[in-house]
Structure 1
Amino acid sequence: MRQGGRGFLGTMNETHDVPFPAPSHWIDGRAVQGSGPLIDVVNPADDSVIASVHEGTAEDLNRAVDAALAAFPGWSSTSPKDRIAVIRRLAEGMQKHSEELAETITAEMGAPITFSRQAQAGFPVASTLAAITAAEGFEWTEVIENSLVIHEPIGVVGAITPWNFPLQQLVTKVVPAMLAGNTVVLKPSELSPLSARTFAEIATEAGLPNGVFNVVQGTGPVVGEAIARHPKIDMISFTGSTRAGKAVSVAASDTVKRVALELGGKAAHIVLPDADLDFAVTRGLAYAWANGGQACGAYVRLLVPEDLQQTVVEKLRAAAGEYTVGDPADEATRIGPVASETQRRRVDGYIERGIADGATLVVGGPGRPDGFETGAYVRPTIFSDVDPDSVIAQEEIFGPVLAVIPYTDDDHAVEIANGTVYGLNAAITGDEEHAMAIARRLRVGQVDVNGGQHNFQAPFGGYKQSGNGREMGRAGIEEFLETKAITR
């Protein structure tokens, strides 16, 4: 797909001679070089600048919105069958170029290459195929007594996506929005903008009409806020921090846009007394430290019966030794750098706070791992005896930091699990009937019982300050539709 620094459409990064697609804007089916100030895209493994992106301007955004508006009548009137055909070719294109996508994401945000192949590049294909299945079975019109109920696209969708899963988060918004007949203006994170450009090229190659999908690069406070405020954008779909989500909601309120928010999380993994502890530890640590802990659904609080805490801690100590920290391009690496130097300092500050607040340090600690004088590397860290009300148990850290919290009985475990402002997801390991009873008591949008296989058709989204709305499957398509009743 790329040769000597060129994307498969022959685009060239004009700022740096590097083998990555030029992260220019993508407006009305073609690359558009911006005129705003440059923002460097930094490889967090070695601090090298791999590309630069122009901050979007008001003119850039207006052009993108106008292109989306112009494309909306034609795309929205296209049959669902024909829209599905385009998106199916898009999925095939992502699969075809999966290795390049994985390598690009590893370079722009530091995910280990093996994880990038499986999740960063693999999940978007699976999500897209699941959305296609949902669209194929969707009832776009239905009769309710003497009313014809029609589900119609909203219009122009503004999508704002984060840096931790840059392609997956793009796909979970853009694909269902387009399947529903909407057109889209996307702002990817300035930390990981390269995969969005590649997606745009793949979509065009798949036959997506010009203007249906547009990209304006830039930062959240500038371009993201402008998208939320834009009077011609009908809906905002945002994934990011709870703090930023609140700002988006305020900015969008002037025009009474629909706003869908997928925000922070502080997932509890409850280990029941009869659980297979080896399985609980292996799976729990994998989900706590996957993507360097930079996942809103990471299982970052491990709740264990107080009489089993020491046994679990020793198993965690042994399991942690299998997590090799290193260059994310190395096949042997299981934990790479976090996404930026700013994030490294943030995570390190939380580790220091955990020690200061009296939690027991099991492995890791503050500072860079030995042998890593440069790059955004942190020590994968485990704390035990964590107070459920402490900072590291309440606030989203977004790094490889696991807090082990002891509990006394079911009621205590549920109280701790529900005892944050977040409500995105949770996990339970133990007797299935017991676990299912606990799952019903948790104030979260999704619960994993005994390592249930991830279901891309199931709705994903949060309670409380983890946001509103749902992504994935049928629910993900419904999010981007208006409902009209014609009564006769």
Structure 2
Amino acid sequence: MTSTTTTIGDPVHPASRPEGHQFINGRRSEGRGPEAKRIDPATGEAAEVIRLASAADVDAAVAAAKAAFPAWSRATPAERGDALLKLAAVLERRAGELAAVESAQTGKSLRLATEFDVPGTIDNTVFFAGAARNLQGLGAGEYGAGGTSMVRREPIGVIGSIAPWNYPLQMAAWKILPAIAAGNTIVLKPSELTPGTALIFAEAAAEAGIPDGVINIVTGTGPDAGERLVRHPDVAMTSFTGSTAVGRKIMAMAAETAKRVHLELGGKAPFVVFDDADVEAAAHGAVAAAIINGGQDCTAATRAYIQRPLFEAFTARVAELMDAVVVGDPADPDTDLGSLITHAHRDKVAGFVERARAAGASVLAGGTAPGGDLAAGAYYRPTLVAGAAQDSELVQQEIFGPVLAALPFETDDEAIALANDTPFGLAASAWTRDLDRSLRASAEIQAGCVWVNDHIPIVSELPHGGYKASGFGKDMSQYSLDEYTNVKHVMLGRDRAAHKDWQDTVFRDRTPGTK
């Protein structure tokens, strides 16, 4: 087909790899869709041209996954676990490369990629190597008269997953690892903005001995590759991480073939500071939680509710800390905050702040894009806004940037009500020295994760997932394996009589010679 070249966004420094940006049936290849030019978000310069996936590429990837499923699903848990341990070792060896590509394609600081994204992914891989050998179910027993029952957990089939651009490596791992640990095969569509580390992950899996076709990567747009993957009749389950608006569309498309859906959607995390909190700890926690990954994190702190006696001290300290954050070249080890993902996204974030300012809110820190040497990049300063209304877009909508809104509250009841007053429910935190307050907040705030006196840390052993418009289903942890398995009840009849007593409720044998 004749290709056209379009600009799709803003990532990455490395030169285009000649083997292509698809990984299908164990090898890299070029896509058969249009060409797309990618822009480095930190410099505004052209980074590479890639050939995107077409519907035919998605079909080929699904066919490869379908062909690999019978053998992989029959592999023993120990065999799958051993393969994942080998994968962890390969990822460890390629850690420097993974961090460099992750930073370059997203604009995040190399320090964050090196100390958070890559080690977190390796730890997830080691965890699922063990989890593969620990699929749980009810013990076999006689739950009804005349038979012994057991529960089997079986893989679903081909999983079609769509991952976002904010944490390309970790999101690829969160999708791939539980799926293949449970015996499924997978086709993953990373964002066309950030496919680099997902492709390296798939290459590492092949190097570790995971069979061809078990992991496939298609780099394409949502309308072309994404929709084809969701609607494909041979895909048994769709897993999607992204915005709530797109998640609703995914559900509708998946319903056409009645496939299972797993969704991790948007967030608007409240950060509740009670009047007995340690202000210094809360302020440090708020800055770190608001600007991590440029604020491009569904669990980032976005709404700080501060009990009135602490409001001025808290906002003053947060503003001071934000003003001291080093915004700069992602590759510089002194950089705290790199660029956002694209210039268009930077402008979207800035628009939220400008509209809030125009409506009468006060910008206490940041609120601008830096100039000078950084003017060509998609940078935005850490921003603190006070005085926005609870029903304003700044407080209600996901901004996905380093912007924190600060609002006061009077009573504990009001704090809980405000924390729950958005459609979202992915994450939240409460800051208090009081045990009763911490227990109440953790019970009554409607979110899949509630931290107390901290915000952001995650571990492989514990689940991640939301309430309300933030989706359903869990990533990480043993709970995520539940998402990727079918539960089957098997009953072995032990009563060899031709006639069972329960059958009398349905019919009575009146044939001659029976009693």
Same fold (TM over 0.5): yes
Which of 281, 295, 299 is residue 283 of structure 2 equivalent to?
281
Answering whether residue 463 of structure 2 is matched by residue 466 of structure 1, we say no
| Distance in 2 between residues matched to 1:247 and 1:54, nearest whole Å | 26
Pairing 1:480–2:477 present: no
Equivalent residues of 1:380, 1:400 under 8 A apart: yes
- Matched residue SS, 2:178: helix
Q: Determine what percentage of the aligned residue pairs are the same residue.
A: 38
Distance in 1 separating the partners of 2:149 and 2:390: 52
Q: Does 1:27 align with 2:24?
A: yes
Matched residues in 2 for 1:392 and 1:98: separation?
37
Decide which moves more: 352-361 or 251-260.
Answer: 352-361
Residue by residue over 1:387-407, the C-alpha shift from the partner in whole angstroms, topping out at 9 and shown as x without a partner, is 221110010000110111111
1:215 corresponding residue in structure 2: 217
Q: What is the CA distance between 1:142 and its match in structure 2?
A: 3.7
Cα distance in 2 for residues equivalent to 1:425 and 1:36: 38
Report the equivalent of 1:446: 449
Aligned to 1:295: 297
Residue equivalent to 2:4: none
Mapped to 2, the partners of 1:136 and 1:432 lie a distance apart of 41
**Is 2:42 the counterpart of 1:40?**
no
Aligned to 1:77: 74
Q: Which residue of structure 1 aligns with residue 513 of structure 2?
A: none
Pairs within 5 Å for 1:368-447: 368-433=370-435, 434-447=437-450
Per-residue displacement from partner, 1:365-415 (whole Å, max 9, x unpaired)?
Answer: 244445422111122211113322111001000011011111111111111
Name the CA distance, whole Å, in 1 between partners of 2:167 and 2:209. 25
Instruction: Specify the SS of the correspondent of 1:260.
Output: strand
The answer as to whether partners of 2:68 and 2:185 remain within 8 angstroms in 1 is: yes
- Distance in 2 (alpha carbons) for counterparts of 1:287 and 1:436: 21
For the residue of structure 2 that corresponds to 1:392, the secondary structure is helix
Distance 1:48 1:336 in 2: 16
The equivalences for 1:209-358 within 5 A come to 209-358=211-360
Provide the residue aligned with 1:51 in structure 2. 48
Structure-1 separation of matches of 2:200 and 2:125:
16
Distance across 1 between alignment mates of 2:434 and 2:454: 11
Using the TM superposition, give the Cα deviation of residue 260 of structure 1 relative to its aligned residue in structure 2, in angstroms.
Answer: 0.3
2:7 maps to what in 1? none
1:321 Cα offset (Å): 2.7
Structure 1 residues 20 and 102 mapped into 2: Cα distance closer, same or farther (>3 Å)? farther
Post-superposition shift, 1:58? 1.7
Distance 1:244 1:137 in 2: 34
Aligned CA distance change for structure 1 residues 23 and 457 (closer, same or farther; 3 Å): farther
Aligned residue type for 1:480: Y
TM-score between both structures, scaled by the size of structure 2: 0.89
Q: CA deviation at 1:54?
A: 1.7
SS in structure 2 of the partner of residue 75 of structure 1: helix
Query: Is contact 1:23-1:197 (8 Å) kept?
Result: no
Match for residue 117 of structure 1 among 101, 114, 119? 114
Q: Of 197, 200, 203, which aligns to 2:199?
A: 197
Q: How does 1:87-126 map to 2 (within 5 A)?
A: 87-126=84-123
Contact 1:23/1:193, CA 8 A, preserved across alignment: no
Q: 1:138 — aligned with what?
A: 135
Q: Is the 8 A contact 2:16 2:48 kept in 1?
A: no
Unaligned regions of 5+ residues in structure 2, if any? 1-12, 493-515
Q: Which amino acid aligns with 1:186?
A: L
Q: Secondary structure at the match of 2:301?
A: coil
Q: 1:135 Cα shift?
A: 2.9
**Cα shift readout 1:327-378 (whole Å, capped 9, x = no counterpart):** 1111111111100112111111111111122221101124444542211112
Q: Deviations over 1:217-267 (max 9, x none)?
A: 101122111111111100001001111111111111100110000000000
Gap change, CA 1:253 and 1:212, over 3 Å in 2 = same
Q: Matches of 1:21 and 1:324 in 2, distance apart?
A: 36
Aligned partners of 1:228 and 1:102: how far apart in 2? 30
CA RMSD of aligned residues (A): 1.6
> Aligned-pair distance for 1:138?
2.8
**Rounded Cα–Cα distance in structure 1 between residues aligned with 2:24 and 2:129:** 25
Deviations 1:72-106 (A, max 9, x none): 00000000110010011111111111111111011
Question: Matches of 2:478 and 2:397 in 1, distance apart?
Answer: 31
Instruction: Return the offset for 1:51.
Output: 2.5
Q: Are the counterparts in 2 of residues 131 and 477 from structure 1 also a CA contact under 8 Å?
A: no
22-31 or 247-256, which deviates more: 22-31
In the TM superposition, residue 457 of structure 1 has moved relative to its aligned partner by 1.1
Listed one character per residue, the Cα deviations across residues 185-213 of structure 1 (whole Å, up to 9, x for unaligned) are 01000110111111111010000000000
Q: Is the 8 A contact 1:22 1:51 kept in 2?
A: no
Aligned equivalents of 1:394, 1:135: Cα separation in 2: 40
Alpha carbons 1:155, 1:234 under 8 Å: kept: yes
Task: State the 1:141 CA deviation.
Answer: 7.2
> In 2, are the aligned partners of 1:304 and 1:407 still within 8 Å (CA)?
yes
Per-residue CA shift, 1:112-168, capped at 9, x if unaligned? Answer: 010110122121112222223333333267425232210000000001000000010
Name the CA shift for 1:48/1:181 in 2 (closer, same or farther; >3 Å): same
| SS of equivalent to 1:361 | strand
Q: 1:86 aligns with which of 77, 80, 83?
A: 83
CA distance in 1, matches of 2:372, 2:353: 17
Matches of 1:310 and 1:248, distance apart in 2:
43
* CA drift at 1:17: 7.7
Describe the shift of the 1:185–1:17 C-alpha distance in structure 2 as closer, same or farther (beyond 3 A). closer
Is the contact made by 1:436 and 1:449 (CA closer than 8 Å) also made in structure 2? no
Render the CA deviation track for 1:160-179: whole Å, top value 9, x for unaligned.
00000001011011001000
* Number of aligned residues: 473
* Distance (whole Å) between structure 1 residues aligned to residue 358 and residue 18 of structure 2: 44
- 1:18–1:50 CA contact under 8 A, matched in 2: yes
